[in-house]
Amino acid sequence: MTDPCAWEDLRMSRRLKIFDTTLRDGEQTPGVNLNIQEKLEIAGQLVRMGVDVIEAGFAIASPGDFEAVKAVSENIKGAAIASLCRAVEKDIDRAWEAVCKAERPRIHTFIATSDIHLKYKLKMSEQEVLERAAAMVAYSKKYCEDVEFSAEDASRTRPDFLYKIIEEVIKAGATVVNIPDTVGYSTPAEFGALIRGIRNNVSNIDKVDISVHCHNDLGLAVANTLAAMENGAVQLECTVNGLGERAGNASMEEIIMGVNTRKDFYNITHKIDTTQIYRTSKLVSSLTGVAVQPNKAIVGVNAFAHESGIHQHGVLAEKTTYEIMTPESIGLAQNRMVLGKLSGRHAFEERLKEMGYCSLSTEEIQKAFEKFKSLADKKKVVLDRDIEALIEEKASKIPEVFELDSFQINSGNKVVSTAMVSLIKEGNKVSEAATGDGPVDAAFNAIERCAGISLELEDYGLKAVTEGKDALGEVTVRVSREGQIFVGKGVSTDVIEASVKAYINAINRAVSELGEEELKRPASGVSEVL
């Protein structure tokens, strides 16, 4: 048994390791489907932010997942790259094949340990699970020095068995032992005590990093994670915006700003650049199509808003009366007019750099500048959030098989809505007209006729990017084909144009993923586009 005195001074300064699983567990959010380029974009931003480990996917899950993990491993430098795998040899082989070219590869293998999982899912005894876990960690070790072991459903596992399996996988060569609250069942006091019990009852625990992975089913993921950290966990697994299976995972931005804001209490350091938090949150929201709730801690639009007159007066007199952190600390600049229609490209490029867009190519900057000039002709005041929306509209680097040429709408409360849409494909213009239940529906029907593709509209969302009658409107659409979801986004001061752009973007994503020929075939139970 470990001497408890060896762990007494946890208040001494320690450095956290942040393990981001947005690309793996975050992508398990219902309706989220990221392509390889989007995963590379997010991974690059995570490195700029300073995360220690990126879990790039579950390599054996599908050929697409394997290629994504492989691409991240080969192209992203500055963080360890991990692939999740079951405690099965073929899974481990595939994981290593995907991460072997990473600058710092990691194999992350897991097996369930709770009674309920052993009885109903694995149909294995504790001894069989113990032997499998140790054997598969040893098998992973022949490939990779850095091996993480996760005891799935650890928070509902009998402590004595959990201690035993942790001790055996450490003997087998594990470098990180992860303790997941897989179904978000635990509470902060209970989960902190579990980590403390592991430290005090596993004789070789000092040879590994203790990691935790908490789900948010009871809204306690961040609280449980911080409680584990207080009790000795040094690697915290989390996702941007708290994305993930069911109710999601512990939110990275909440963990980091919790630690930052309460340095006096936690006395813990990390290497996250907090000024990249807002930028990262916006990028992930844009690429996944999952909007951040307005009252979301740290990155919600209301996080630094003050409605009450008493609060407003206090903040104007002294910000710390009602703000425990500054908007600037997460990279959120105060909105202001930054450029006008007479501004040049150099000034625009400098402003992009100030906003954190440092990795854009010359071509991307030029396209963004052209869109900015077009917007400046329509809008009196151009704000930072307008520029963000223009950049994020093109964040998804997918081939534009179909491009908008023009559209015309005829609509009213006493006429049938009609749309005429012209698309450009391979330099050729295709024009079609269609009717619909309102101008947006008519436009979508006309787009489908032009493309010769029929998709099912699952969701449509519209929000104003900024305030005022001339505000940019941002439209997000979710479409499906045979159960697979594709997200499209479009922005414009004209909400119909934003809708048209979003639907074309969704079609281009579907074509990129499934291929045009596949999409032109009638979907199950759907007649051909006329």
Enumerate the known binding-site residues for Mn(2+): 25, 213, 215, 249
Cβ within 8 Å of residue 529, ≥6 positions away: 448, 449, 452, 453, 454
Whether the CB-CB separation of 129 and 91 falls below 8 Å is answered with: no
Residues annotated within the binding site are 25, 213, 215, 249
| Rounded (5°) CA angle 319-323-327 | 90
Q: How far is CA 448 from CA 422, 425, 475, 507, 527, in A?
A: 11, 13, 18, 9, 13
3-state helix, strand, coil in the chain (%, to 5): 45, 20, 35
DSSP single-letter state for residue 284? H
Using alpha carbons only, what angle is made at residue 80 by residues 74 and 81, rounded to the nearest 5 degrees? 50
Residues 6+ apart with CB under 8 A from 470: 378, 379, 380, 493
Instruction: Give 390-427 as a DSSP string.
Output: HHHHT-S----SSEEEEEEEEEETTEEEEEEEEEEETT
Structure tokens at 327: 């908007």
Contacts of 265 by beta carbon, 8 Å cutoff, 6+ apart: none
Q: Are 429 and 423 in contact (CB under 8 A)?
A: yes
- Identify whether the C-beta of residue 222 lies closer than 8 Å to the C-beta of residue 258: yes
Q: Which structure tokens are listed for 23?
A: 């690309």
- Residue 442: other Cβ atoms inside 10 A: 25
